[in-house]
Amino acid sequence: MLSFSQSDGISSTSMMDSSAIMWFRFRVPLRRPLTVGGQTLSFRECLVVRLMSDDGAAGWGEAAPLPGFHGWCTIEELIEHAHNAGKSFDASRLLVSPPSVRFAMSSAEAWLLHDSQTDTADVSREVKATLLINRDNHSLESLQQAMKYSCIKVKVGSDPVADATFVRELRDAIGPEPKLRADANRRWNLNQAIEFGQAVGNEMLEFLEEPCDNPDNFEVLRNETGLRIAADESVQDAGDSSAIERILDVSDYLVIKPTMIGSLDRCRELAQRAYSRGAGVVVSSAYETGVGMRGLLLLILSLKGTDPAPGLGTYNLIADDILESRLPIQGSSFDLQSALRHVNVDTASLERIA
């Protein structure tokens, strides 16, 4: 099997015959259009990889880059990268692959390893789910649904005062118990982020994710508002290890999206760096199907059981999964052991690429 273990996330000390590796293309519709990275998507068109073990077991992983985010490439470019990665498992080939390809390869290995283990008694634990609410398209139904969750994430990043007003109104509607997060996706400058933070107050939010367009301003924002800050895209786009260290030093939480980060080992390495600073780690999805989501669950399994609720709500936007049965992770919480039970990929929905 593969072994991914270097700090850059990819290291292959063993080889696998390329005939054991097969890539497939798929397209699944979304429940509603998604505007991201200047594009409006009505479907996800991505790749999955299948690794076959010597005993005939299959492990799967998903490469699903997202427009506008780190590692984005077209489906044609992704196919070329998949071909290159699939020829052999030497580090030089994998390191030049997009992070989504590295995530797919390591997820497939983790899938094989997990399904080969017979003792999963320690897997059982409840995982709290996060409900995603967009201020622009929320409804009374979504607010009623929010009351069932212990953690809610709100997309902000437009007018700071209007966003703060909505957050306060949402808090009044759901009461004091659920944790409330806000994500600005780096849409504000420092002054706008401060305006939002001062209008909301530092006790209303669990954290504010990627509040402004420059992570160098995180510390100023924390000092001015008392808000707890979560880093996401800033770490993805950081140029080197020292830049990541600087960002983590001024962040209270690290959001890990493996599709944009790379292999599971790379994600775990970043998580350990966050833990060493007392920061929380939030594993987050990026509109993957059930194959990619199972990779995220395997990552969650390998991290601290005391981490904050993961952000897996984008799975709900996938209308037709490529699994024969959807993962049971809908609702306000789910059992990790049940969600990780053996699942089958609907190979009839896939197109093998030559």
Q: Is 153 a catalytic residue?
A: no
Contact in structure between 340 and 297 (CB atoms under 8 Å): yes
Q: Using alpha carbons only, give the angle 45, 129, 185 rounded to the nearest 5 degrees.
A: 60
Q: Is 257 a catalytic residue?
A: yes
Tokens 């993805």 correspond to what residue? 236
User: Largest Cα–Cα distance of the chain, in whole Å?
Assistant: 60
For 251, list phi and psi in degrees, rounded to 5. -125, 145
CB neighbours (10 Å) of residue 271?
Answer: 22
Q: Which of the following is catalytic: 87, 155, 179, 304?
A: 155
Residues 6+ apart with CB under 8 A from 247: 215, 218, 231, 234, 235, 238
- The secondary structure element, H or E, covering residue 63 is strand 58-63
At position 166, the amino acid (one-letter code) is: F
Q: Which of the following is catalytic: 87, 128, 153, 257?
A: 257
Structure-token pair, residue 202:
């530092």
Is the Cα dihedral 205, 170, 232, 112 positive or negative?
positive
At position 4, the amino acid (one-letter code) is: F
At position 131, the amino acid (one-letter code) is: L
Structure-token pair, residue 28:
């699944």
What residues are labeled active site? 155, 257
